[in-house]
Structure 1
Amino acid sequence: MRLIFWGTPAFALPALRAVADAGHRIAAVVTRPDRPAGRGRKPKPSPVRTLAEECGYRVLVPRRTRDADFVDEVRSLGADISVVVAYGQILSDVLIETPERGSVNVHPSLLPALRGAAPINWAIAHGFDTTGVTIMRMVQAMDAGPILAQTMVPIGDTDTTAVLSRRLSELGGKLLAETLSRLEAGPIAEVEQDHEAATFAPKVDRGSARIDWSRSARKVSCLIRAMDEVPGAWSVLNGVPLKLYAPVVVPEADPGDPRRVGASPGEVLRADPRGGLVVAAGDGALQIGEVQQPGRRRIAAEAWLCGRGARVGDVLS
């Protein structure tokens, strides 16, 4: 099929490669404008734009997708279908319906669960054992269209958002290419979502990444992994924000378990360059593998503890 591909971040790259490898013709690639990056804050093209230009595809970078001139340009492409993979902006009804076969979207959750901007983060934060990828037909309501294909993916105990995102993006690209080939061959079953069962995954921010140490060690671990790499789960130590990464739940029999020593949530139970950093939670304790201070790079907790680091009895809040 002749298609328009809408996408911006690295998550969308496997899908762009997959549809091209499957023999579908790319009429154009639409991506978000360049954004300032790095210390010099120089404009940097999106990963999708970089790949599309390397492949010689026509690239469209609209400032406003609702502008009449841009809508006319999309119409002039004569596409059979639009494919949207993490484009980063809600499309109008006109753009969704312009291609002859409408538009489809790759969403990294098992819809109707986790509609919204950050389904991968929240699948981990909520402690889900599984998530997945859904290919759906687009409608104006957010992530509410009929399901064309869906597949499940397990979430590992050490998976971070970055790790799980890479796995889901590869799987999503393959599932998208398969679904487009099925659509090209003829009509396929479309399953309406159960809207009453829908849950939501809002964009994560600094507020949602702050650690509540009164929660169980497992739940704190889930939050830390969910916010890795961006924005980074954080807490305050001696008045200074500190980002934490690579958590491991301490076994109950470990002498650092707060249920054995009566520690308060957030209290540092161990701060040893050889034994690592262990912090009490509301139920259980966590060993923290890496930390990041403001304006500094992410380092191993043991290296951080060789400096000022933390002391036993300090409290993270």
Structure 2
Amino acid sequence: MRVVFAGTPDFAAASLRALLDAGHEVAAVYTQPDRPSGRGRHARPGPVASLAREHGIALEQPESLRNAEARARLASYEPEVMVVAAYGLILPQAVLDIPEFGCLNVHASLLPRWRGAAPIQWAIASGDAETGITIMQMDAGLDTGDILLSKRLTIHPDETGGSLHDRLAPLGGEALLEALQQLQAGSLRAEPQDSHHATYARKLERADSPVDWHQSAATLARHIRAFNPWPVCTTHVGETTLKLLFAEAVNDEAATEAPGTVIERNRDGALIQCGEGLLNLTRLQLPGGKPQTVGDLINGGKPLLEPGQRLGK
């Protein structure tokens, strides 16, 4: 099919790569403008922009699609369908109406659960047993369009936001190709979402990083995994900020110290009192350092996470 693709990060690049490998005609790629990144704060292209340039595809990076000029430019590519995956811009109805078959969205959840910007992370943080990919017919709402195709995926007990992303991204490309094949064959069927079961996956921010040790160990363990690699959960030992990369809840109610108190430290981790239960922290990162285990921390002789220390501010 003749496709206009819109997306920005790695998750979206997997779907674009699937389109190219399958031989679809990608007439143009829309992506966010290059943003400053790195220590030098130089403008760098995102993964989708880099892939488009690598394949010599027309690249469009408008700040908005709400003006008539931008819409006319998109219409000039005469797409049969527009595919959107983690694009980052709102598509007004006038844009949704341009392609012959409308706009299809590759969404990283089983809609209507986890509409919004961070479905991968909130599925883990909320303790969901499974998630998946939904191919949705876009409308003017926030992930409210009809479901065209879904693929399910079990969430592993040790899943992080990063590992789940890396499993969902290729699944998104697989689901997209299947949906396009059915669209061409005329067998694709739309199913309205049941909004009564909708949940919202709000955008994550750095303000979500500090942990609240008054929460349960089970909740904190899920958040630490979900927010790895971004925005990464943090806590303080005095003036030192620790990044918390992996932890497990321990069903032990014997300890009665104040929340945030380190109960025990050994090479298997540091046990920390929570509002309910104990958290066994196993991987962390110090300022300016690399990810390490608590065993590495002990070997380095750092006086951190020692029994009796109180974490947090």
Q: Report the equivalent of 2:308.
A: 313
TM-score norm. by structure 2 comes to 0.94
Query: Alpha-carbon deviation of 1:187?
Result: 4.7
- Describe the superposition over 1:63-96 as per-residue Cα deviations: whole angstroms up to 9, x where unpaired: 2222322211111101101000011111111111
Q: Report the Cα distance in structure 1 between the residues aligned to 2:18 and 2:223, rounded to whole angstroms.
A: 32
53-62 or 233-242, larger mean C-alpha shift = 233-242
2:31–2:61 CA contact under 8 A, matched in 1: yes
SS of the equivalent of 1:265 reads coil
Stretch moving more, 228-237 or 121-130: 228-237
Quick one: distance in 1 between partners of 2:206 and 2:34?
A: 24
Which segment is superposed worse, 107-116 or 185-194? 185-194
Deviations 1:142-187 (A, max 9, x none): 0000000011111111100110011111111100011011101115
Q: How far off is 1:278 after superposition?
A: 1.8
Is 1:214 the counterpart of 2:214? The answer is yes
2:282 aligns with 289
* Residue 270 (structure 2) pairs with residue 280 (structure 1): no
Q: Verify the 8 A CA contact 2:256 2:273 in the aligned structure 1.
A: no
Per the TM alignment, residue 7 of structure 1 is displaced from its structure 2 partner at its CA by: 0.7
Contact 2:208-2:231 at 8 Å conserved across structures: no
Is the CA contact 1:209–1:223 (under 8 Å) kept in the aligned structure 2?
no
Question: Post-superposition shift, 1:119?
Answer: 0.6
Other structure's SS at 1:11 match: helix
Flag structure 2 segments of 5+ consecutive residues without an equivalent: none
Report the AA paired with residue 295 of structure 2: E
Aligned-partner Cα distance in 2 for 1:181–1:23: 12
* Amino acid in structure 1 at the alignment position of 2:274: A
Shift of 1:121: 0.6
Of the candidates 255, 258, 268, which is equivalent to residue 264 of structure 1? 258
- Matched-pair identity in %: 40
Partner in structure 2 of residue 91 of structure 1: 91
Opposite residue 307 of structure 2, the aligned amino acid is V
Question: 1:275 Cα shift?
Answer: 4.6
Q: Is the Cα contact below 8 Å between 1:33 and 1:45 reproduced in 2? A: yes
Q: Which residue number in structure 2 is paired with residue 230 of structure 1?
A: 230
Mapped to 1, the partners of 2:268 and 2:76 lie a distance apart of 64
Residue 85 of structure 1 contacts residue 105 of structure 1 at CA under 8 Å; is this kept in 2? Answer: yes
Q: Does 1:304 align with 2:279?
A: no
Partner secondary structure for residue 191 of structure 2 = coil
- 1:312 is aligned with what amino acid? P
Is 1:106–2:100 an aligned residue pair?
A: no
Q: Which residue of 2 aligns with 1:14?
A: 14
Distance 2:58 2:273 in 1: 54
The correspondence of residues 18-97 of structure 1 with structure 2, limited to 5 A, is 18-97=18-97
Query: What SS does the corresponding residue of 2:254 show, helix, strand or coil?
Result: helix
2:156 maps to which residue? Answer: 156
Q: Distance in 2 between matches of 1:160 and 1:304?
A: 22
1:117 aligns with 2:95: no
After TM superposition, the structure 1 stretch with the greater mean CA deviation from structure 2, 184-193 or 74-83, is 184-193
Q: Which amino acid aligns with 1:300?
A: T
Please give the alpha-carbon distance, in whole angstroms, between the structure 2 residues aligned to 1:296 and 1:242. Answer: 10
Q: Quick one: distance in 1 between partners of 2:303 and 2:240? A: 13
Aligned residue in 1 for 2:203: 203
Task: Measure the CA separation in 1 of the matches of 2:259 and 2:209.
Answer: 17
Contact 2:269 2:293 in 1 (8 A): no
Structure 1 runs of 4+ with >6 Å offset: none
CA distance in 2, matches of 1:82, 1:23: 16
Q: Could you tell me how far 1:239 is from its partner in structure 2?
A: 4.1
Report the counterpart of residue 141 of structure 1 in structure 2.
141
Greater shift in the superposed pair: 17-26 or 195-204: 17-26
Listed one character per residue, the Cα deviations across residues 170-214 of structure 1 (whole Å, up to 9, x for unaligned) are 111100011011101115210000112211000111333322222
Q: 2:261 touches 2:272 (CA, 8 Å); kept in 1?
A: yes
State the AA in 1 paired with 2:281: I
Secondary structure (helix, strand or coil) at the match of 1:173 reads helix
Distance in 2 (CA, whole Å) between partners of 1:122 and 1:79 is 34
CA–CA distance in 2 between the matches of 1:20 and 1:27? 11
Q: Which digits, 9 at most, give the CA deviation of each residue in 1:34-85, with x for residues without a partner?
A: 1111111111101011111111211111122223222111111011010000
Instruction: Name the Cα RMSD after superposition.
Output: 1.6
Rounded to whole Å, the distance in 1 between the matches of 2:163 and 2:7 is 20
CA contact (8 A) 1:277 1:302 kept: no
Q: Distance in 1 between matches of 2:272 and 2:80?
A: 55
| Structure 1 unpaired stretches of 5+ | none
> Are the equivalent residues in 1 in contact too, given 2:268–2:294 (CA < 8 A)?
no
Deviations along 1:99-140, one digit per CA (max 9) or x if unpaired, are 111101011111111100001110000011111110000001
